[in-house]
Structure 1
């Protein structure tokens, strides 16, 4: 095992509050982490903003408000994060009767300002210089989508594309996945076909890989181990190995009904993971 001086260290941590479930994380190009936290007991969904370098909480308990009326958007619960661009974060709401997203809010969390918002469009894709969006209508009893391109910094229309077409599909084919845009590496479950990952885990003395999620990044192997006890409750542990040496470990959750899946990621030189659903921890990997 690595000596104490060689262990990875925690940069910062953020506690979302008692009873919170950290639900979404996104990153801006200007160095902020934006998160959504949900409180099921009170059916409240709130947002927070953290400076990635210092861990300083820039904004917390941010409640998204309706475009037109002084009430919470999506009943204060049915909201989420869509994408980011530059310093802006784009949020959405949706109806309880439909999974279809509704509206776009462009927010500068550092300035605590809604730069623009529109209730008449639905986000489809981030093209960096433009957004592909659509407007819903009904013709002959069937829903139709009318596609537009808009300026992501002003919300203004730049081009009308019309109904679903070959040109719209061509635009969609060129869209960069959101995790790639935000330079995020997500974990994957280790299967029998993943020979390299299995060999790496075995080198780290992990033989039972069926309940492992992992990310391999250079000499580092980040592993979430999910184990089920005799009482059928789950325990999820996070281990970071550098070759054969364990350089960081922590418990993500203990005694829970479901394993804590997909609760860690890497962005640049930092590891981010959730602890007990309501705490976000940032660990420096270099």
Structure 2
């Protein structure tokens, strides 16, 4: 069961609060600026998808699909979309919950995905389950009685509040019918959750770490970035991921002329081939941020993925980038 991969940055770093710690290293003077050749992007995205509104969350099915949640804060509207992971081909978009704003994704499992509503708009408790076919977006069944807990194979485990307390149920993922009443015993639910936590859902994912003495490639990264990144101008962390011979880095700096007249940040992204000395990509991926974000990019299998300007997914193919 894929319970979800939340991009902590999700293109909305101005909505996140992160303490602005300085980087934990002192750069050495060197001629690295001469070693890395600056150029226009030599490594364009393999595919992109522009939602036109904020991409709030993306989940990977681990079977070749990306499920996304898009939100328009001004109109208070939410809609969902699905892409082919390898090519970015749009399978469907503009799927909407009956509740325009107060909804979200629960999980992907067995070629289906599950949406939830909320008990009340001002309360965090989820309520209601809507099951959809992942490949087409077609609604399979819905229930307003139950709260989703987890899915496993063709089973959905859910709860319902009664006067006597919280009752648990096993539902059919095919049609939503009750297949077993579990009473108030939480042990089975806890065992299933523990089993899912022990499974390796995130095999193939690699994430950046803040550049510090604890970074596994601290010395090599500092040497490569010396003369390229000025630590005195960095707000928050300098996030680095090394996939030798490739090095990826992202950091925030103050914008010179913010459009709204208020102090704001932009996030720079850099991709280097440390063997050839070639700059594969360098440029801003976010402007107008109120605070530094985190985990703004990651690698899954052979693709580097990030959110560009809050609204677009960009994917770069690692194959060939190291040559």
- For normalisation by structure 1, the TM-score amounts to 0.80
In 2, the alpha carbon distance for the partners of 1:121 and 1:9 equals 46
Listed as ranges, the matches of 1:166-185 within 5 Å are: 166-176=187-197, 180-181=200-201, 183=203, 185=205
Matching of residue 83 in structure 1 with residue 107 in structure 2: yes
2:127 is aligned to 102
Q: Flag the 1:174–1:236 CA change in 2: closer, same or farther, 3 A.
A: same
Instruction: Tell me if the contact between 1:186 and 1:264 (Cα under 8 Å) persists in the aligned partners.
Output: no
Matching of residue 93 in structure 1 with residue 92 in structure 2: no
Instruction: Tell me if the contact between 2:211 and 2:237 (Cα under 8 Å) persists in the aligned partners.
Output: no
Matching of residue 247 in structure 1 with residue 280 in structure 2: yes
The equivalent position to 1:276 in structure 2, one of 305, 309, 314, is 309
The CA deviation string for residues 19-43 of structure 1, in whole angstroms up to 9 with x for no partner, is x111011123442211111111110
More strand by share: 1
The CA deviation string for residues 181-212 of structure 1, in whole angstroms up to 9 with x for no partner, is 26563635516462414334214315748512
In 1, the alpha carbon distance for the partners of 2:283 and 2:249 equals 11
Q: Flag the 1:278–1:135 CA change in 2: closer, same or farther, 3 A.
A: same
The CA deviation at 1:266 is: 2.3
1:116 is aligned to 141
Alignment RMSD: 3.1
Number of equivalences: 270
Matching of residue 211 in structure 1 with residue 237 in structure 2: yes
In 2, the alpha carbon distance for the partners of 1:42 and 1:255 equals 20
Instruction: Tell me if the contact between 1:235 and 1:253 (Cα under 8 Å) persists in the aligned partners.
Output: yes
- For normalisation by structure 2, the TM-score amounts to 0.72
The CA deviation at 1:274 is: 1.0
The CA deviation at 1:2 is: 7.0
Q: Flag the 1:193–1:150 CA change in 2: closer, same or farther, 3 A.
A: farther
Secondary structure at the aligned position of 2:82 is classed as strand
Matching of residue 190 in structure 1 with residue 214 in structure 2: no
Q: Which runs of 5+ in 2 are unaligned?
A: 1-35, 257-261
2:318 is aligned to 285
